[in-house]
Chain A
């Protein structure tokens, strides 16, 4: 399994940009990077995926450097409703998808 490491928690305020960095040092050539969001008492929800450089959708941006050993999820102008746990996953060739502990993001007014 490609092990991922994320900060345990991050605090922010409404309107700020939140950047969460995930380390995946042993990522393989064909592996993709995905990020999920989870609210209490709900299943995780897919946010974004990427292979290299930068990917942006209506919710977030994902930055992946050339060596692909890390990735950064960027949440622009967060609101209270963005308070959640965010997970970074590396999708392996065999699709054995495992979640790490995730990063608890708390947005304050």
Chain B
């Protein structure tokens, strides 16, 4: 299993440009998450999904959109990038059907710089 993968690993955008970050998991997990982590800070939840076709807002959803058209993929979109969105973005998934395990599996992260 590849686990959770993220594409791309690095990206530099100019203010106002758009892009989509892709998260893929091959563990058949129901729940998926997008976090951002600014330097020296903890992770903040952007959006999450409790199943294919569903999404929900986290703590800091403004400026981002998400889609979960397929169970294994969770896309994070920036329509008009701003310097404040410079951060490392982590995707995670969790298996809620396997008993009382609450282990989140994280991807390697996408480092995004907006100039």
A interface with B by C-beta (< 8 Å): 32, 34, 36, 41-46, 49, 51, 85, 87, 91, 95-102
Contacts and interface: CB of A to CB of B under 8 A. Distances in A.
A54 to B, nearest CB: 16
Q: What does DSSP make chain A's interface, helix, strand, loop or mixed?
A: loop
B48 A96 contact: yes
* Interchain residue pairs A-B with the least CB separation, the first 10: A43-B106, A99-B43, A46-B103, A101-B42, A91-B102, A99-B42, A43-B90, A98-B45, A102-B42, A34-B102
Contacts of A100: 42
Contacts, number: 59
A96 B56 contact: yes
A87 B42 contact: yes
Q: What does DSSP make chain B's interface, helix, strand, loop or mixed?
A: strand
Contacts of B41: 101
Interface centre among B43, B44, B59 (most CB of A within 10 A): B43
Interface stretch (B66-74, B75-83, B92-100): B92-100
A32 B58 CA distance: 19
- What bracket does the count of chain B residues touching chain A fall in? 20 to 34
Nearest to B91: A43
Contact of B43 (A44, A49, A95): A44
A51 B101 CA distance: 11
A49 B35 contact: no
B106 A95 contact: no
A32 B94 CA distance: 14
A95 B107 contact: no
B102 A49 contact: yes
